[in-house]
Structure 1
Amino acid sequence: MAGRRARERKARTRRRIIGWSIALVVVAAIAIGAAWALPRVLDRFSGPEDYAGPGSGEVIVQVQSGQNGSDVAATLVEQDVIASAEAFTDILVADPSIQLHPGAYRLAQQMSAQGALDAILDPANRAELRVTVPEGYVLRQVFERLERDLGIPQADFTQAAGDLTQFDLPADALSLEGWLFPATYTFDDGVTAVQVLQAMIARQQQALDAAGVAVEDRQRVLTFASLVQREARLPDDFGRVARVFQNRLDIGMRLQSDATVAYGTGNLHVVTTTREEREDTTNPYNTYANDGLPVGPIGAPGDTAIQAALEPTPGDWLYFVTVNPETGETVFSATYEAHNVAVAQFQQWLRDNPGWGG
């Protein structure tokens, strides 16, 4: 009897131990599950990961044309501007009226999503590059100016200009000379050489469209206008210079422009040219030795020169000479005798001002 009671007590003890063990295992499992699930539950209710504050440093973020909010958010995450894409897109979803515009923007790293969005929407944060190309500049001068103001190496422009198929040009265009419209341009930071040249050509096409120039006439008009641009000094003289050239073309008289000869030699700083240079028939831009217009433009003409080439000032002039290079005073003559008088005036000016003309 005593033995049976002892066995029963042992059995009851074993059952209690097993029960306690199972209870401990269940409690441990619940604790482990809570430890795994609780942060996720809290994350769900606390919202997506987001940086706090305005951030630090500076990074240029490019918003490309055609990108949606998710694309922009991914770029911001990639450049460590925001902590998560969700923090950014949630704001956009909540306010569908928000519009993101293409461009380059100066932002900080590790900004809040709202701060990053506010910065993109603020025009003051646009990262823009500005360059002004003067009228009459030749390609080499244009590329130098673009490198100086945009920071893009001249070699990039030279390489891009070597492939004319990537630009909207007529079939008879020999190069980009004359096709880069002289104006002030604004570009986003990160713009490429090809994109810059395409924008300048588009602006020249716009000018030609406004002037009513047919596509098949554009290369010739730009060539003519570039001569006017390089030879005329004062606004009132553009139409008269164009008339002299047009009158000569009409009667088969050579244009005899020192500017075209100089362009062909590469000596763009000179006022006059030498006899040897004017007699050089191998220079395709030599309008002393060759009939008609040169083979192509000799610089970048602006609106005034283009309009003058299309509508020269009425007159019977066949000659002109700038008698004072400092002021730009130019004398137009209908006869060779009158022209010689003006040339003598110019030569006297050169004697009085050594260092000019060479």
Structure 2
Amino acid sequence: MKRILLVLVGLFVLAVGAVAGTFFWAEREVQRSVAPPGAASVEFTVPKGTTGRGLGTQLAAQGLIRDVRIWRWHLYRRGAFAPKAGRHMVSPSMTMAELSTALEGSPIPEDVPFVVIEGWRLRDTDAALATAGLIKPGAYIAAASEPGRYTAAFPLPRATLEGYLYPETYRVVPGSFNVQELIQRQLDTFAERFYTPHREALQQSGRSLHEVVVMASMLEREEPVPAQRPLVAGILWKRVDKGFPLGVDATSRYELAEWNDRVAFLKRLRDQEDPWNTRHRKGLPPGPIGAPTVESLQASLKPKPSEFWYYLHDAERRLHPSRNADEHEALRRKYNVY
């Protein structure tokens, strides 16, 4: 009997030891992070209606915890846990205690896409932002008219940032939208997409950045097919260099309240004193006429030489270049382009 009692006591001690060992192991695991300090943060989404225990599988799948069972143990020991639905920035460097605290905090504000269309003028982007309820009318134009407020890897123009605000889809937060932050992002995107990778080519081109941007803004409006823009750029640069008027009618539309206002456009075309009228005035227009894409910027920087001096588009927007005025007039009659 005594022997049996000793065996039972021994088994009890072993069981207590095993439980204690498991307890201390679990507590140690709770305090361990998956990655060492300094690991990059990642975005983790808490779905609506998900329980704390249910998050364990997702956390493990994203490499934020090692063991779902330890996560459940942590929640049992922790007590109340109320994660907030939405997106949270967390890190695999966090312990489970830090993770659970972070998931109870305020989620990242929900952002929405805002699209800046290729070729848009400042006034077009301003109108779209106002329509979306993000700004009061005129706020974007005003902010873009103070280049000194911003930093860039390239020289900024003095009067206005027209042409340098890259057209792209930007994620914005409606409740805390800042127009200056959007403009800075557009300048950064311009540098990333075009200026930085083409800096050496710009220095060797013999053209200033501003001249390249002005030409690119016209190409964006003049040629709908990006692959054709280097050819059109070659024709236009040749006309500039030889002292011929460009004849780019899009420049006469630049200052119109509505780009497609034909009556106002024809009035502009008849005004030989209008500095934007490139049918009569030689050289580049006073500035960019919209926001060019990288394809237009590259075409402006690296034009394609050719024997052509003129071009037009038919009713289906197909390009037809010509070598002289006679050929150009024949094409105008053929395609009824006037």
Is 1:280 matched up with 2:271? yes
- 1:238/1:308 contact within 8 Å kept: yes
The answer to whether the 8 A contact 1:321-1:346 is kept is no
| Offset of residue 147 of structure 1 | 3.4
The question of whether the paired residues in 1 share the 8 Å contact of 2:162 and 2:290 is answered with: yes
1:204-234, CA deviations, whole angstroms, 9 ceiling, x for partnerless residues?
Answer: 1222222223598221111011011110011
Aligned length: 242
Among candidates 99, 109, 114, match of residue 131 of structure 1: 114
TM-score (normalizing by structure 1): 0.59
Letter in 2 for 1:208: Y
2:292 match: 301
Matches within 5 A, 1:57-96: none
1:19-60 residue CA offsets vs partner (Å, 9 max, x unmatched): xxxxxxxxxxxxxxxxxxxxxxxxxxxxxxxxxxx999xxxx
Look up the match of 1:208: 195
What does 1:144-163 correspond to in 2, within 5 Å?
A: 144-149=127-132, 151-163=134-146
How far off is 1:150 after superposition? Answer: 6.7
Give 1:253 shift.
0.8
Query: Compared with structure 1, are the counterparts of its residues 173 and 346 closer, same or farther at alpha carbon in structure 2 (3 Å cutoff)?
Result: farther
1: distance between equivalents of 2:184 and 2:265?
Answer: 37
Cα 1:258–1:96 change in 2 (3 A) is closer
Q: Which residue of 2 aligns with 1:340?
A: 329
Looking at structure 2, the residues matched to 252 and 197 of structure 1 have their Cα atoms a distance apart, in angstroms, of 35
Counterpart residue type for residue 337 of structure 1 = D
Shift of 1:193: 0.8
Q: Distance in 1 between matches of 2:269 and 2:92?
A: 68
The reply on whether 1:248 has 2:233 as its aligned counterpart is: no
Write the mapping of 1:159-178 to structure 2, written as runs, cut at 5 A.
Answer: 159-168=142-151, 170=155, 172-178=157-163
> How many percent identity over aligned positions?
24
**Root mean square deviation of aligned Cα:** 3.4
CA contact (8 A) 1:223 1:296 kept: yes
| Runs of 5+ unmatched residues, structure 2 | 1-46, 50-90
Q: Deviations over 1:240-277 (max 9, x none)?
A: 11111011112111101101112144452167986653
Q: Please point out which of 301, 306, 313 is paired with 1:310.
A: 301
Distance (whole Å) between structure 2 residues aligned to residue 157 and residue 335 of structure 1: 43
Deviation at 1:308, TM superposition (A): 0.5
Question: Is the contact between residue 264 and residue 283 of structure 1 (CA under 8 Å) also seen in structure 2?
Answer: no
Q: Which residue of 1 aligns with 2:165?
A: 180
Cα distance in structure 1, aligned partners of 2:183 and 2:290: 15
Q: Which protein is bigger by CA-based radius of gyration?
A: 1
Cα separation, 2, equivalents of 1:55 and 1:226: 46
